């Protein structure tokens, strides 16, 4: 077995190796910081036209990828909302059929309760209480009474 004791016990060569590794990492870190500043639009003065064009191309590519990902996420959300809409529509149909099957009078009661007098109505069905509110429509901004001039008494 041949063992080279000089290489493993030489602290000078090991420290030089660590120093070289540290120098490489420091240079790489500084280059990454410089690139980050350029991508953020900072420190562009020393760049040549060719470097600026390359930077512009990188930014356009990154923007395109970000837009594609955003579009993909939005399309997924739209599809999920469509699924929810279909599911809720089906649930609504099932509930309507269930109410109709339980008795036409119950169904008509709920239908008429959807347009109660101001203040809403309370409908009870199978132990459940439903609060039904009428949607209030806002009066028009100008009515005929507002356009009339008062007459002297």
Task: Decide if 66 is inside a domain.
Answer: yes
Lowest mean pLDDT among 26-40, 77-91, 97-111: 97-111
Do 59 and 85 lie in one domain? The reply is yes
Task: Decide if 120 is inside a domain.
Answer: no
Do 56 and 24 lie in one domain? The reply is no
Q: Each residue of 98-119: pLDDT tens digit? A: 888 887 666 666 666 555 555 5
Lowest mean pLDDT among 41-50, 75-84, 99-108, 123-132: 123-132
Task: Decide if 139 is inside a domain.
Answer: no
DSSP string over 29-46: HHHHHHHHHHHTT-S-TT
Task: Decide if 19 is inside a domain.
Answer: yes
Q: What is the mean pLDDT of the chain?
A: 79
CB 112 within 8 A of CB 123: no
Do 93 and 63 lie in one domain? The reply is yes
How many domains is the chain built from? Answer: 2
pTM of the predicted protein model: 0.49
CB 130 within 8 A of CB 144: no
Note down the domain range covering 95. Answer: 48-101
Do 61 and 42 lie in one domain? The reply is no
Do 58 and 95 lie in one domain? The reply is yes
Task: Decide if 18 is inside a domain.
Answer: yes
Mean pLDDT of the region 115-139: 56
Q: Each residue of 67-80: pLDDT tens digit? A: 999 999 999 999 99
């Amino acid at each position: 077995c041949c063992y080279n004791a000089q290489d493993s016990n030489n602290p000078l060569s090991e420290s030089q190796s660590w120093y070289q590794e540290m120098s490489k990492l420091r240079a790489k870190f500084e280059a990454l910081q410089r690139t980050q500043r350029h991508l953020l639009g900072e420190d562009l003065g020393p760049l040549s036209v060719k470097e600026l064009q390359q930077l512009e191309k990188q930014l356009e590519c990154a923007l395109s990828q970000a837009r594609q990902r955003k579009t993909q996420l939005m399309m997924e959300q739209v599809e999920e909302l469509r699924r929810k809409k279909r599911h809720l529509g089906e649930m609504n149909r099932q509930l309507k059929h269930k109410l109709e099957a339980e008795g036409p009078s119950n169904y008509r009661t709920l239908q008429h309760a959807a347009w109660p007098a101001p203040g809403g109505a309370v409908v009870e069905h199978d132990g459940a209480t439903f609060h039904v509110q009428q949607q209030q429509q806002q009066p028009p901004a100008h009515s005929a009474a507002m356009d009339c001039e008062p007459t002297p008494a």
